[in-house]
Copies of this chain bind each other. A is one copy, B any other.
Amino acid sequence: MAETARHSETRYGNRPTMKDVAARAGVGLKTVSRVVNSEPGVTPDTERRVQEAIEALGFRRNDSARVLRKGRTASIGLVLEDLADPFYGPLSRAVEEVARAHGALLINGSSAEDPEREQELALALCARRVDGLIVIPAGDDHRYLEPEIKAGVATVFVDRPAGRIDADMVLSDSFGGAREGVAHLIAHGHRRIGFIGDQPRIHTATERLRGYHAAMADAGTRVEDSWVSLGPTDPDRVRAATERMLSGPEPVTAVFAGNNRVTVTVVRVLAEQERRIALVGFDDIELADLLGITVISQDAAAVGRTAAEHLFRRLDGADHTPARVELPTTLIARGSGELPPA
């Protein structure tokens, strides 16, 4: 007896279906479908009757059934690292705007920099049959997406390259940006320059480190091991790393911060110092202008927009070979990067 009760409660409160609407309006099922989809071939009078029935019953089309029938979901998935990160907010929003322009919804999730969670999320989105997928890689092996891509899920990797798979990518010029930033410090007289970046398994982290080394090499400047620190970007570690560089036998006179989270912490630590230490950070930050922080800026919104547009171009049938787009960065001088060595 509990059987039937449970049943009727479970499936979303017994929502009315087109069949119910049809019955109430005294028309055929298909006619309701035509009205709901604004298809031609329905008399104004019939349409009115159907609309009234829809109104009265509180009917709403079940898109799951629609998707099942049509094959397209009009939705795309976005797997990013952390929705709460100020870099990804604008990126996500830009993707959403493009999706909206194409009549698609956005489903997104955060991987929290965990490769397993990235995979889990991406595959869950594929199971929902998103038309396309934008992934900010946490892991470095994306072969698990091969069947999906082959099956037609338009996929674009963003911010970091895909691993062991040939696919579309939209990246920022991490190497060039870091190189320019460090060269900027060198140009202002610095030689002992620290680098604090993210974990080495993250591509952008190693690219930026590579840029650092390139700039130092360009200037014929030696690099001490103790000036470089890669690892998780939680405040505690970054703080410790910064303080270590500032207090060693050969203390640095400038720091290059590998991303926005690092920059924020480094700024705090530097504010506590007596010496004025120069700083250039990768990624712009809100209010950085007021704090006078010199940054290498990458346009998160542009990255997201580019990726999404690329994705929809793919969906619209263009099946050129996988493309790799690299967007330039901009150095914005605001003071902290122009301080002379102390």
Q: A residues near B, CB below 8 A?
A: 10-15, 58, 60-65, 67-68, 70-73, 75, 82-86, 88-90, 92-93, 96, 100, 105-110, 123-129, 146-148, 150-153, 264, 267-268, 271, 285-287, 289-291, 301
Contacts and interface: CB of A to CB of B under 8 A. Distances in A.
Contacts of A108: 106-108
Given A64-B67, A286-B264, A83 B73 contact: no
Contacts of A148: 58, 60
A261 to B, nearest CB: 10
A89 B83 contact: yes
Given A83-B92, A84-B93, 13 more contacts: A10-B71, A12-B152, A58-B150, A63-B129, A65-B68, A83-B83, A83-B89, A84-B92, A88-B89, A105-B107, A108-B108, A268-B289, A285-B287
Nearest to A304: B84
B105 A106 contact: no
Contacts of A12: 71-72, 129, 151-153
A65 B128 CA distance: 9
A85 B60 CA distance: 31
A86 to B, nearest CB: 6
Contact of A127 (B61, B90, B96): B61
Contacts of A10: 71-72
The 6 lowest CB-CB distance pairs between A and B, nearest first, are A58-B147, A13-B152, A11-B71, A84-B93, A64-B67, A84-B89
Contacts of A13: 150-152
A4 to B, nearest CB: 15
Contact of A147 (B60, B88, B124, B147): B60
